Structure 1
Amino acid sequence: MSNVRPSSQSGFSLVETVAAMGILALAAIPLLQVTTDANRNAASLETRLLARTVAENELARAMASRTVLDAGIATGQVDQMGRTFVWTRTTSPAQIGQLQNYRVDVRPDNSEQVLASLISLKYIPANLPGDVAPQGQSEGSGG
Protein backbone atom coordinates (compact mmCIF):
# COMPACT_ATOMS: atom_id res chain seq x y z
CA MET A 1 0.00 0.00 0.00
CA SER A 2 1.23 3.36 -0.79
CA ASN A 3 1.07 6.09 1.70
CA VAL A 4 0.11 9.16 -0.38
CA ARG A 5 0.12 12.50 1.31
CA PRO A 6 -1.93 15.35 -0.10
CA SER A 7 0.18 17.87 -1.86
CA SER A 8 0.18 21.50 -0.89
CA GLN A 9 -1.09 22.32 -4.41
CA SER A 10 -4.47 20.54 -4.09
CA GLY A 11 -7.68 22.57 -3.47
CA PHE A 12 -8.29 26.29 -3.71
CA SER A 13 -6.21 28.91 -2.04
CA LEU A 14 -7.76 31.47 0.26
CA VAL A 15 -7.25 34.22 -2.34
CA GLU A 16 -9.05 32.18 -5.02
CA THR A 17 -11.94 31.46 -2.66
CA VAL A 18 -12.31 35.12 -1.65
CA ALA A 19 -12.16 36.21 -5.32
CA ALA A 20 -14.86 33.68 -6.26
CA MET A 21 -17.09 34.86 -3.39
CA GLY A 22 -16.63 38.48 -4.50
CA ILE A 23 -17.64 37.67 -8.07
CA LEU A 24 -20.65 35.73 -6.81
CA ALA A 25 -21.68 38.65 -4.59
CA LEU A 26 -21.43 41.09 -7.52
CA ALA A 27 -23.59 38.81 -9.64
CA ALA A 28 -26.15 38.41 -6.84
CA ILE A 29 -26.78 42.16 -6.40
CA PRO A 30 -28.71 42.61 -9.69
CA LEU A 31 -30.62 39.41 -8.98
CA LEU A 32 -31.71 40.77 -5.59
CA GLN A 33 -32.75 44.07 -7.20
CA VAL A 34 -34.85 42.24 -9.79
CA THR A 35 -36.52 40.18 -7.06
CA THR A 36 -37.23 43.28 -4.96
CA ASP A 37 -38.70 45.12 -7.96
CA ALA A 38 -40.87 42.12 -8.83
CA ASN A 39 -42.24 41.98 -5.29
CA ARG A 40 -42.93 45.73 -5.28
CA ASN A 41 -44.70 45.49 -8.65
CA ALA A 42 -46.77 42.53 -7.45
CA ALA A 43 -47.93 44.50 -4.40
CA SER A 44 -48.82 47.51 -6.57
CA LEU A 45 -50.69 45.30 -9.01
CA GLU A 46 -52.62 43.67 -6.17
CA THR A 47 -53.64 47.09 -4.80
CA ARG A 48 -54.82 48.22 -8.25
CA LEU A 49 -56.75 44.99 -8.73
CA LEU A 50 -58.50 45.45 -5.38
CA ALA A 51 -59.31 49.08 -6.27
CA ARG A 52 -60.79 47.96 -9.59
CA THR A 53 -62.91 45.39 -7.75
CA VAL A 54 -64.24 48.15 -5.49
CA ALA A 55 -65.04 50.29 -8.56
CA GLU A 56 -66.80 47.40 -10.30
CA ASN A 57 -68.86 46.65 -7.19
CA GLU A 58 -69.99 50.25 -6.74
CA LEU A 59 -70.77 50.64 -10.44
CA ALA A 60 -72.79 47.40 -10.33
CA ARG A 61 -74.78 48.77 -7.36
CA ALA A 62 -75.55 51.95 -9.28
CA MET A 63 -76.52 50.06 -12.44
CA ALA A 64 -78.72 47.59 -10.53
CA SER A 65 -80.55 50.31 -8.61
CA ARG A 66 -84.27 50.30 -9.39
CA THR A 67 -84.42 54.02 -8.69
CA VAL A 68 -82.83 56.84 -10.62
CA LEU A 69 -79.86 58.06 -8.62
CA ASP A 70 -79.73 61.75 -7.79
CA ALA A 71 -77.25 63.77 -9.81
CA GLY A 72 -74.13 64.77 -7.94
CA ILE A 73 -71.26 63.20 -6.06
CA ALA A 74 -71.50 60.37 -3.55
CA THR A 75 -68.59 58.92 -1.59
CA GLY A 76 -68.01 55.95 0.63
CA GLN A 77 -65.40 53.72 2.20
CA VAL A 78 -64.99 50.00 1.80
CA ASP A 79 -62.52 47.43 3.12
CA GLN A 80 -61.15 44.95 0.62
CA MET A 81 -58.77 42.24 1.91
CA GLY A 82 -57.74 44.36 4.88
CA ARG A 83 -57.16 47.54 2.87
CA THR A 84 -59.41 50.57 3.03
CA PHE A 85 -60.44 52.26 -0.21
CA VAL A 86 -62.48 55.42 -0.78
CA TRP A 87 -64.82 55.48 -3.77
CA THR A 88 -66.39 58.54 -5.37
CA ARG A 89 -69.39 58.14 -7.69
CA THR A 90 -70.27 61.07 -9.94
CA THR A 91 -73.77 60.86 -11.39
CA SER A 92 -75.00 63.10 -14.20
CA PRO A 93 -78.52 64.55 -14.29
CA ALA A 94 -81.06 62.18 -15.86
CA GLN A 95 -84.03 62.76 -18.10
CA ILE A 96 -86.66 60.14 -18.87
CA GLY A 97 -85.84 58.36 -22.12
CA GLN A 98 -82.17 59.34 -21.96
CA LEU A 99 -78.92 57.98 -20.58
CA GLN A 100 -77.56 58.68 -17.12
CA ASN A 101 -73.77 58.75 -16.78
CA TYR A 102 -72.00 57.13 -13.83
CA ARG A 103 -68.32 57.53 -13.06
CA VAL A 104 -66.65 55.72 -10.15
CA ASP A 105 -63.14 56.64 -8.98
CA VAL A 106 -61.35 54.60 -6.30
CA ARG A 107 -58.28 55.56 -4.29
CA PRO A 108 -56.56 54.24 -1.19
CA ASP A 109 -57.75 55.76 2.08
CA ASN A 110 -54.42 57.48 2.71
CA SER A 111 -53.77 58.80 -0.81
CA GLU A 112 -55.23 61.13 -3.43
CA GLN A 113 -54.01 58.96 -6.32
CA VAL A 114 -56.89 57.36 -8.21
CA LEU A 115 -56.09 53.68 -8.77
CA ALA A 116 -59.24 52.70 -10.67
CA SER A 117 -61.81 54.64 -12.64
CA LEU A 118 -64.84 53.20 -14.43
CA ILE A 119 -67.55 54.92 -16.47
CA SER A 120 -70.91 53.54 -17.56
CA LEU A 121 -74.23 54.69 -18.96
CA LYS A 122 -77.69 53.60 -17.82
CA TYR A 123 -80.84 54.07 -19.85
CA ILE A 124 -83.69 55.75 -17.99
CA PRO A 125 -86.87 54.20 -19.44
CA ALA A 126 -89.96 56.27 -20.09
CA ASN A 127 -92.24 53.94 -18.13
CA LEU A 128 -90.79 54.52 -14.67
CA PRO A 129 -93.24 54.54 -11.77
CA GLY A 130 -93.61 58.00 -10.19
CA ASP A 131 -91.68 57.01 -7.06
CA VAL A 132 -88.51 56.22 -9.04
CA ALA A 133 -88.67 58.91 -11.74
CA PRO A 134 -85.99 61.63 -11.73
CA GLN A 135 -86.82 64.61 -9.55
CA GLY A 136 -89.22 67.06 -11.17
CA GLN A 137 -90.57 64.49 -13.63
CA SER A 138 -93.47 62.14 -13.27
CA GLU A 139 -94.57 59.16 -15.27
CA GLY A 140 -95.74 60.13 -18.72
CA SER A 141 -94.16 63.61 -18.74
CA GLY A 142 -91.92 64.06 -21.76
CA GLY A 143 -88.70 65.92 -21.99
Structure 2
Amino acid sequence: MTKYILVFAVCLLSLYACDNNEDEIESLPLVAINSDTLVGEWKLVESKVSSGGQVSWSPVSQSYTIKFLADATFIKNDGNCERGTYRVVAHPEYEAKQMIELTYSCEVDQAIYPDNKSYWGVEALNDRYLVYHPTYKGPICTEGCSYKFKKQ
Protein backbone atom coordinates (compact mmCIF):
# COMPACT_ATOMS: atom_id res chain seq x y z
CA MET A 1 0.00 0.00 0.00
CA THR A 2 2.80 2.45 0.85
CA LYS A 3 4.36 1.66 -2.53
CA TYR A 4 1.18 2.86 -4.29
CA ILE A 5 1.03 6.01 -2.19
CA LEU A 6 4.66 6.76 -3.02
CA VAL A 7 4.06 6.24 -6.76
CA PHE A 8 0.96 8.46 -6.61
CA ALA A 9 2.89 11.21 -4.79
CA VAL A 10 5.72 11.12 -7.35
CA CYS A 11 3.23 11.33 -10.23
CA LEU A 12 1.43 14.23 -8.58
CA LEU A 13 4.68 16.13 -8.03
CA SER A 14 5.73 15.47 -11.63
CA LEU A 15 2.50 16.97 -12.94
CA TYR A 16 2.92 20.04 -10.76
CA ALA A 17 6.53 20.53 -11.86
CA CYS A 18 5.62 20.33 -15.55
CA ASP A 19 3.03 23.06 -15.12
CA ASN A 20 5.19 25.45 -13.14
CA ASN A 21 6.98 27.88 -15.46
CA GLU A 22 8.92 29.42 -12.56
CA ASP A 23 10.58 26.07 -11.92
CA GLU A 24 11.54 25.83 -15.59
CA ILE A 25 13.44 29.10 -15.40
CA GLU A 26 15.14 28.21 -12.14
CA SER A 27 16.11 24.72 -13.30
CA LEU A 28 17.94 25.95 -16.39
CA PRO A 29 21.51 27.08 -15.84
CA LEU A 30 22.03 30.83 -15.86
CA VAL A 31 24.58 32.18 -18.29
CA ALA A 32 26.85 35.20 -18.18
CA ILE A 33 25.33 38.38 -19.53
CA ASN A 34 27.20 39.41 -22.64
CA SER A 35 26.54 40.18 -26.28
CA ASP A 36 26.81 36.51 -27.28
CA THR A 37 24.13 35.36 -24.84
CA LEU A 38 21.78 38.23 -25.70
CA VAL A 39 21.90 37.89 -29.50
CA GLY A 40 18.58 36.72 -30.88
CA GLU A 41 14.91 37.60 -30.88
CA TRP A 42 13.07 37.76 -27.54
CA LYS A 43 9.29 38.01 -27.14
CA LEU A 44 7.63 39.53 -24.06
CA VAL A 45 5.36 36.80 -22.66
CA GLU A 46 4.66 37.62 -19.00
CA SER A 47 4.96 40.39 -16.44
CA LYS A 48 4.97 40.60 -12.68
CA VAL A 49 3.88 43.98 -11.31
CA SER A 50 3.31 44.53 -7.59
CA SER A 51 0.86 46.93 -6.02
CA GLY A 52 2.20 46.14 -2.58
CA GLY A 53 1.11 42.53 -2.12
CA GLN A 54 2.42 39.19 -3.29
CA VAL A 55 2.44 38.80 -7.07
CA SER A 56 2.84 36.06 -9.64
CA TRP A 57 3.58 35.99 -13.34
CA SER A 58 0.67 37.00 -15.61
CA PRO A 59 0.42 36.76 -19.40
CA VAL A 60 0.81 40.15 -21.07
CA SER A 61 -2.09 41.67 -22.97
CA GLN A 62 0.20 43.53 -25.38
CA SER A 63 3.40 41.76 -26.35
CA TYR A 64 6.36 42.96 -28.35
CA THR A 65 9.69 41.57 -29.46
CA ILE A 66 13.20 42.89 -29.12
CA LYS A 67 15.97 41.61 -31.33
CA PHE A 68 19.55 41.96 -30.10
CA LEU A 69 21.90 41.79 -33.09
CA ALA A 70 25.55 40.73 -33.12
CA ASP A 71 26.67 44.24 -34.12
CA ALA A 72 25.44 45.59 -30.72
CA THR A 73 22.27 47.11 -32.18
CA PHE A 74 18.69 46.31 -31.25
CA ILE A 75 15.31 46.47 -32.96
CA LYS A 76 12.06 46.34 -31.02
CA ASN A 77 8.45 46.72 -32.04
CA ASP A 78 6.71 48.28 -29.07
CA GLY A 79 5.54 51.43 -30.87
CA ASN A 80 8.19 53.58 -29.22
CA CYS A 81 11.62 54.46 -30.56
CA GLU A 82 12.39 51.09 -32.10
CA ARG A 83 16.12 51.11 -32.86
CA GLY A 84 19.37 51.77 -31.13
CA THR A 85 22.46 50.22 -29.62
CA TYR A 86 23.00 48.11 -26.52
CA ARG A 87 25.85 47.14 -24.26
CA VAL A 88 26.34 45.27 -21.02
CA VAL A 89 27.47 47.57 -18.20
CA ALA A 90 28.10 47.28 -14.47
CA HIS A 91 25.48 48.83 -12.21
CA PRO A 92 26.98 52.09 -10.87
CA GLU A 93 25.86 51.37 -7.30
CA TYR A 94 26.19 47.57 -7.21
CA GLU A 95 29.29 46.60 -9.16
CA ALA A 96 28.54 42.88 -8.95
CA LYS A 97 25.30 43.42 -10.88
CA GLN A 98 25.20 43.86 -14.62
CA MET A 99 22.67 45.74 -16.68
CA ILE A 100 21.78 46.07 -20.32
CA GLU A 101 22.06 49.69 -21.40
CA LEU A 102 19.79 50.56 -24.35
CA THR A 103 20.60 53.78 -26.22
CA TYR A 104 17.75 54.84 -28.49
CA SER A 105 18.57 56.24 -31.94
CA CYS A 106 15.69 58.72 -31.94
CA GLU A 107 14.61 61.36 -29.46
CA VAL A 108 12.57 59.96 -26.55
CA ASP A 109 10.93 61.55 -23.50
CA GLN A 110 13.89 62.75 -21.42
CA ALA A 111 11.84 62.57 -18.21
CA ILE A 112 11.48 58.82 -18.76
CA TYR A 113 14.70 58.03 -20.65
CA PRO A 114 17.43 60.54 -19.67
CA ASP A 115 20.11 60.84 -22.37
CA ASN A 116 17.98 58.57 -24.62
CA LYS A 117 18.92 55.55 -22.47
CA SER A 118 17.15 52.90 -20.45
CA TYR A 119 18.66 50.25 -18.21
CA TRP A 120 17.51 46.67 -17.72
CA GLY A 121 18.59 44.94 -14.52
CA VAL A 122 18.83 41.30 -15.57
CA GLU A 123 17.42 38.84 -13.02
CA ALA A 124 17.77 35.68 -15.10
CA LEU A 125 19.20 34.78 -18.47
CA ASN A 126 19.49 31.34 -20.01
CA ASP A 127 18.96 29.82 -23.43
CA ARG A 128 15.16 30.16 -23.17
CA TYR A 129 14.30 33.14 -20.96
CA LEU A 130 15.42 36.67 -20.20
CA VAL A 131 13.91 38.24 -17.07
CA TYR A 132 14.60 41.89 -16.28
CA HIS A 133 13.39 44.81 -14.21
CA PRO A 134 13.77 48.51 -15.02
CA THR A 135 16.63 49.92 -12.98
CA TYR A 136 18.90 52.87 -12.26
CA LYS A 137 17.66 55.64 -14.59
CA GLY A 138 14.39 55.73 -16.46
CA PRO A 139 11.05 54.16 -15.54
CA ILE A 140 11.20 52.30 -12.24
CA CYS A 141 8.27 50.53 -10.62
CA THR A 142 7.91 51.79 -7.05
CA GLU A 143 6.50 48.48 -5.78
CA GLY A 144 8.62 46.31 -8.06
CA CYS A 145 8.06 44.80 -11.48
CA SER A 146 9.71 42.24 -13.75
CA TYR A 147 9.27 41.29 -17.38
CA LYS A 148 9.84 37.85 -18.88
CA PHE A 149 10.92 37.38 -22.49
CA LYS A 150 11.07 34.02 -24.25
CA LYS A 151 13.69 33.36 -26.93
CA GLN A 152 12.10 32.84 -30.34
Q: TM-score, normalised by structure 2?
A: 0.26
Larger Rg: 1
In proportion to residue count, which structure has more helix?
Answer: 1
Which structure ranks higher in relative contact order (CA pairs < 8 Å, sequence separation ≥ 6)? 2
In proportion to residue count, which structure has more strand?
Answer: 2
Q: TM-score, normalised by structure 1?
A: 0.27
